[in-house]
């Protein structure tokens, strides 16, 4: 979802990224503030400088979103849950977790941390608004931010997954039933129903000529697709429950010699077998993994003079899996680390290869049989 994003910095060690859609919403907010909001609440201010105020207010709004996501991240770290990144996009921000909470309590506290921080920011900007009575431009910015932070906190408490309120709902369902996957599915279904309400409101408003209805439609669509994705992930984890790597891996592994030229690797391996990647061996030792992506990054005229070891990913623990690993954990790891395949090791020797496409195919077949 957030492939087209760029890292702009780190906060407490967490990468902060900006999705390309953020620039769209940043421009729209700046335009709306400069042409509509500031002329209404502070008509005495120079029109030309309203654009600067609009840009500052938009930046502070997204700083508020970052603080909201950092609050989730801070609590997640208290429960030993690593945060992959925080990404700003058109609908706000999202903190990506490397793993799910280990208990309903952890889920509840993580979920409530974000809205709580937004309400605190709203109170802060309310106090600032009262203190800036003689500075109408700054007072108008503070008033806008106090409103938006209260709206942000309240909106996120909507009880539908993956909203914060949906996570609160999942925590209660999880605590009551003791079944994490069932709680996730029910919270996701609640998210789908709420999304459909947003979409219905958007269509009705659109028929009445209200231009702002487009936001109800877009938000409803985003919530619906996110809730569906969460449901499918929970369903996949249910199918993969108890399945080990040895049950899904390819045991008959085709390996590439580390000293083979890329021209030979392409003809005798990629084109012959149709796989997107192969383990690379140097004698009896595992040297790394070579993928089609690695080869494509090199100009064709250099394929004959370049060997597999020159472009492969060197083998290390990040490329290794065990036969006893849970497949659902391995799939999460592949997605979070953007890996298409892992080498399965047994007693220090290559015993198989597990691929993301192989896991997906396994899920499809199991789903059809179910």
Coil, strand or helix at 280: strand
d(CA 275, CA 345): 20
The mean pLDDT value for 158-171 works out to 92
Confidence label for 297 from pLDDT (cuts 50, 70 and 90): confident
Q: What is the pLDDT of residues 129-154, one digit of tens each?
A: 999 877 888 999 999 999 999 999 99
**What average pLDDT does the segment 301-327 reach?**
91
pLDDT for the residue 332: 82
pLDDT at 212: 67
Burial 254-286 (b: 16+ CB within 10 A, else e): eebbbebbbeebeeebbeeeebebbbbbeeeeb
Residue 370 confidence (pLDDT): 65
The pLDDT of residue 237 is above 90: no
Which candidate, 130, 144, 114, places its Cα nearest to that of 32?
144
- Over its C-alpha atoms, the chain yields an Rg (Å, rounded) of 25
- Cα separation, 265 vs 302, in Å, equals 13
DSSP bridge partners of 93 = 88
DSSP strand pairing (14-19 vs 5-11): antiparallel
pLDDT for 258: 93
Q: Collapsing DSSP states into helix, strand and coil, what is residue 243?
A: coil
- Express each pLDDT in 33-81 by its tens digit: 999 899 998 888 888 889 999 999 999 999 999 999 999 999 999 998 8
Question: Percentage of residues in the chain with pLDDT exceeding 90?
Answer: 50
Three-state DSSP class for 188?
helix
The pLDDT > 70 percentage for the chain reads: 98
Measured from the Cβ of residue 105, the count of other Cβ atoms closer than 10 Å reads 13
* Predicted TM-score of the model (pTM): 0.79
Name the residue ranges covered by the structural domains of the chain. Answer: 5-238, 245-369
Q: Which residues pair with 18 in a beta bridge?
A: 6, 88
Q: Is the pLDDT of residue 211 over 70?
A: no
CATH topology of domain 245-369: CBS-domain (3.10.580)
């Amino acid at each position: 979802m957030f492939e087209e994003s760029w890292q702009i910095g780190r906060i407490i060690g967490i990468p902060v990224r900006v999705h390309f859609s953020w620039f769209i919403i940043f421009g729209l907010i700046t335009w709306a503030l400069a042409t509509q909001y500031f002329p209404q609440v502070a008509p005495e201010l120079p029109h030309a400088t309203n654009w600067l105020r609009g840009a500052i207010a938009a930046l502070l709004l997204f700083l508020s979103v970052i603080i909201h996501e950092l609050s989730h991240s801070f609590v997640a770290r208290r429960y030993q849950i690593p945060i992959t990144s925080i990404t700003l996009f058109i609908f706000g921000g999202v903190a990506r977790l490397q793993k799910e909470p280990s208990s309903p309590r952890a889920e509840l506290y993580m979920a409530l941390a974000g809205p709580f921080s937004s309400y605190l920011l709203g109170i802060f900007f309310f106090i600032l608004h009262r203190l800036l009575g003689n500075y109408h431009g700054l007072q108008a910015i503070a008033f806008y931010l106090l409103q938006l932070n209260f709206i942000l906190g309240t909106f996120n408490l909507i009880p539908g997954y993956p909203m914060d309120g949906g996570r609160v709902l999942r925590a209660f369902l999880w605590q009551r039933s003791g079944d994490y996957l069932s709680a996730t599915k029910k919270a996701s279904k609640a998210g789908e129903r709420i999304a459909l309400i947003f979409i219905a409101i958007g269509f009705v408003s659109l028929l009445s000529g209200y231009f702002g209805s487009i936001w109800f439609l877009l938000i409803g669509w985003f919530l619906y697709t996110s809730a569906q994705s969460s449901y499918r992930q929970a369903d996949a984890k249910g199918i993969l429950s108890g399945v080990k790597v040895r049950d899904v891996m390819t045991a008959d592994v085709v390996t590439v010699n580390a000293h083979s030229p890329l021209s030979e690797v392409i003809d005798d391996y990629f084109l012959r077998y149709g796989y997107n990647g192969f383990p690379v061996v140097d004698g009896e030792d595992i040297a790394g993994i070579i993928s089609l992506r690695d080869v494509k990054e090199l100009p064709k005229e250099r394929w004959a003079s370049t060997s597999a070891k020159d472009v492969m990913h060197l083998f290390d623990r990040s490329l290794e899996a065990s036969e006893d690993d849970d497949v659902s954990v391995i799939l999460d790891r592949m997605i979070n680390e953007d890996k298409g395949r892992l080498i399965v090791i047994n007693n220090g020797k290559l015993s198989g290869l597990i691929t993301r496409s192989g896991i997906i195919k396994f899920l499809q077949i199991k789903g059809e049989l179910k």
